[in-house]
Amino acid sequence: MLKRLSAPNVLVVITGLVIGVLGALLAKAGNPPNMGICVACFERDIAGGLGLHRAETVQYIRPEIPGFLLGSTIAAFIFGEFKARSSSAPMVRFLIGVFVMIGALVFLGCPVRTVLRLAGGDLNGLTALLGIATGAFIGVLFLRRGFTLGRSYEAHPIVGWVMPGLMAGLLLLAILKPAFVFASEKGPGAMHAAIVVSLGAGLLIGFLAQRSRMCFVGGIRDLFLIRDPHLFNGLVAALVAATATNLVLGQFKLGFEGQPVAHTNHLWNYLGMVLVGLGPTLLGGCPLRQLVLSGEGNADAGMVVLGMVVGAGIAHNFGLASSPKGATPGGMVATIIGLAAMLAIGYFMRE
């Protein structure tokens, strides 16, 4: 039975089911509605908690993010897959991370939250999903034409422990709550489950995602690139499980209007998520996957994670992030700049 459950095609579905159920349960436990799990939103809150931006409604060091990464580290260490490695183009990876975060905050969600918003009845997630698919398709075209960010090489062990060390420090700040850490008193940042619940969910998801190689953008990418539905099955499982759990908990509200932490500007929802589909396709993994890879000792993924945290600070400091009122003019301009930058990177970094 254990052997069957650990088979790759089964494990990715199990991971998707767990993400879906826990995503809905975390919202019930105190996280924002339809935002039980959102890698981009949670990294945005962490950036605020550390003072990288001063948007008072989105400041909180969320334990889920350290949980995802450290859960991956635990799994990689147990199964002998922790290996410090790095490659070329660190600044390009950092820049892509910045723009992926900006695109996610124009829509107000990462690929995981896209699925959870749909599972809560938010039909704006359909526009976002179409944007992710468009971005992934464009990325696949570049991959087929020889795009590469460089080969990965083995690095000194300390390189692989930098991100787990940073996340352990973040977790310590979340627990101790020193005076220099910011915490929202209202808004989404003030809505959170108990630390032990958030951390436990994060560790479990990180552990399973490391074993299954779960990737929300990768599932769509592989459908285009190699006609393989393996990872996509995990995405579908997450959607089904989260929808069923929301229906049981009374958290399902169908429609476009009046959805929590969302807006109905479909053009910019779409274009923002084109960035979120294209960037991770070029990087080789969605925001959740980048955290998991960081936990395995991958310094390249660590640069992407840091880029996303800095991107969150930039987005809020310069008025690029959307609100329930819609996308901002700055966010629209930044999205176009990001798309142009991604297309340039995809075109020129070909072998």
Q: How many whole angstroms separate alpha carbon 97 and alpha carbon 328?
A: 20
pLDDT score, position 34:
95
The total number of structural domains in the chain stands at 1
DSSP state, residue 32: P
Beta-carbon count within 10 A of 254 CB? 9
Handedness of CA 56, 309, 223, 5 (dihedral sign): negative
Please give the model's pTM, rounded to 2 decimal places: 0.96
What residues contact residue 171 under an 8 Å CB cut-off, 6+ apart? 63, 66, 67, 70, 199
| Token pair recorded at residue 161 | 């422990």
Residue 318 has pLDDT above 70, yes or no: yes
pLDDT score, position 38:
98
- CB distance 61 to 284 below 8 Å: no
pLDDT score, position 88:
81
Residue range(s) defining the domain that contains residue 203? 2-348
pLDDT score, position 152:
85
Residue 3 has pLDDT above 80, yes or no: no
Amino acid at position 310, single letter: V
pLDDT score, position 151:
86
What percent of the chain lies above the pLDDT cut of 70?
A: 98
Average pLDDT on 305-321 reads: 98
Average pLDDT on 255-266 reads: 96
87 pLDDT band (50/70/90 cuts)?
confident
Residue 5 has pLDDT above 70, yes or no: no
